[in-house]
């Protein structure tokens, strides 16, 4: 990657006054303010045994310019790409298979060797028989003070599966691959009759970064009340306070709140944007649902039934079977949301203010590849 002399002088001057860091030129938007990180991870459903020609993980970097063409193609060992996430603390991409293409009991951990340039490195497989039909991934970091000056951090990869289970893998960066024989699962938590469709972590107490709520979307919970979300508040208790129990019964891990979405079915992947105070969920009903003020929405006990504040759907949107959604949650530079569609094989980018039957700001297809889940890594002040 080449830098012009003028650009390096500008970047050097900016770094001296502490307001910018050196970035590759390809990451600079064609128009408007520089967006330091805007990387869209696309997990493709396509898979062929013994084929190296199908790259099933694309990284669009940057994703907030006037096209979605600047891509890095990666051949992931995943047998048909499903849920995908990236976490800068983990310095890794995690990609699972959804299980609809081939039998796959692995979650791939793909290291990001250089965060500034976003280039993935080697993949390491986290294997467990329960990793079939993964419906959502999340990365939980717990930090605690050790002595007067030190700190200790414990990381967990969480996976919700169609088998009504929640799995927790501690320190996933040290497991899988060549380690061999390492115990993969730390916790196997039964979700009872809840059939998961998504998984994400919500902000709890804003004064305590360790306080996270676990949100599990479901298509069924054993009742006739419909699709919705279950909010769990005992995550820290199970992962940190009681580390010895491997198998956790549903009677011990019960939701504090259930939120049913009235009249809506086919809930899928979600996007949580606390800065924008917005929560979105893709559905198989040719639309994406949006809820304002998610903190209020998912606070409380018992049960509640809600309607979306608005939707994006209709003939002008071009949506046929939206599978993934990602909101750019940056306070200063977040302007777009992204939707993947497995039926029309498109990635559609909308403006954040778009509602209803509105045409996307732009769309992109990648040959005959079928985009499935997506994840947006958008940071205004990354620590490279």
What is the C-alpha to C-alpha distance for residues 377 and 381, in angstroms, rounded to an integer? 12
pTM: 0.88
Q: Are strands 346-351 and 336-341 parallel, antiparallel or unpaired?
A: antiparallel
For residue 379, the tally of other CB atoms under 10 A from its CB is 17
Angle at 156 (CA atoms; ends 376, 252), nearest 5 degrees: 115
Q: Are 138 and 123 in contact (CB under 8 A)?
A: no
Per-residue pLDDT reduced to its tens digit, 302-336: 999 999 999 999 999 999 999 999 999 999 999 99
* Mean pLDDT, rounded, for 289-305: 97
Q: How far apart, in whole angstroms, are the C-alpha atoms of residue 7 and residue 356?
A: 42
Q: What is the largest CA-CA distance in the chain?
A: 65
Quick one: pLDDT at residue 174?
Answer: 78
Q: Which of 98-102, 104-108, 326-330 has the lowest mean pLDDT?
A: 98-102
Question: pLDDT digit string (tens) for 18-47?
Answer: 333 334 434 444 444 444 899 999 999 999
Q: pLDDT value at position 5? A: 42
* pLDDT tens-place string over residues 142-199: 988 776 766 788 899 999 999 999 999 999 987 876 555 567 999 999 999 999 999 9
Average pLDDT, the chain: 88
Instruction: Report pLDDT for 177.
Output: 63
CA–CA separation, 274 vs 334, rounded Å? 12
Task: Compute the distance between CA of residue 203 and CA of residue 60 in angstroms, rounded to an integer.
Answer: 27
Q: DSSP string of 276-311? A: TTEEEEEESSSEEEEEE-HHHHT-SSEEEEE--SEE
User: In angstroms, how far is CA 350 from the centroid of its own chain?
Assistant: 18
């Amino acid at each position: 990657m080449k830098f012009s002399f003028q650009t390096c002088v500008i970047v050097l001057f900016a770094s001296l006054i502490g307001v910018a860091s050196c970035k590759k030129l390809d990451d600079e938007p064609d128009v408007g303010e520089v967006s330091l990180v805007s990387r869209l991870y696309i997990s493709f459903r396509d898979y062929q045994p013994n084929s190296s020609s199908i790259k099933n993980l694309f990284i669009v970097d940057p994703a907030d310019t006037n096209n979605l063409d600047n891509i890095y193609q990666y051949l992931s060992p995943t047998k048909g790409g499903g849920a995908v996430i990236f976490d800068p603390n983990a310095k890794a991409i995690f990609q699972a298979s959804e299980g609809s293409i081939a039998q796959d009991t692995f979650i791939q951990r793909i290291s990001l060797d250089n965060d500034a340039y976003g280039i993935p490195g080697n993949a390491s497989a986290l294997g467990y028989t329960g990793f079939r039909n993964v419906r959502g991934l999340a990365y939980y970091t717990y930090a605690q003070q050790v002595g007067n000056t030190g700190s200790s951090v414990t990381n967990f990869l969480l996976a919700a599966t169609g088998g009504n289970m929640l799995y927790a893998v501690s320190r996933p960066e040290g497991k899988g691959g060549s380690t061999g024989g390492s115990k993969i699962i730390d916790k196997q938590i039964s979700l009872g009759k809840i059939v998961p469709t998504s998984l994400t972590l919500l902000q709890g107490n804003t004064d305590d970064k360790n306080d996270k709520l676990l949100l599990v979307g479901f298509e069924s919970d054993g009742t006739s009340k419909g699709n919705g979300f279950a909010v769990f508040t005992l995550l820290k208790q199970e992962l940190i306070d009681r580390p010895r129990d491997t198998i956790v019964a549903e009677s011990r891990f019960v939701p504090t709140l259930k939120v049913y979405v009235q009249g809506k079915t086919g809930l899928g992947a979600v996007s949580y944007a606390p800065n924008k105070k917005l929560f979105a969920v893709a559905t198989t009903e040719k639309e994406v649902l949006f809820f304002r003020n998610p903190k209020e929405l998912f606070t409380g006990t018992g049960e509640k039934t809600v309607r979306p504040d608005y939707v994006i759907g209709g003939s002008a949107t071009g949506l046929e079977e939206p599978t993934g959604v990602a909101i750019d949650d940056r306070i200063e530079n977040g302007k777009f949301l992204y939707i993947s569609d497995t039926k029309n094989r498109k990635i559609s980018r909308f403006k954040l203010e778009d509602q209803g039957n509105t045409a996307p700001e732009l769309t992109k297809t990648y040959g005959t590849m079928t985009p499935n889940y997506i994840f947006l890594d958008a940071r205004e002040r990354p620590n490279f």
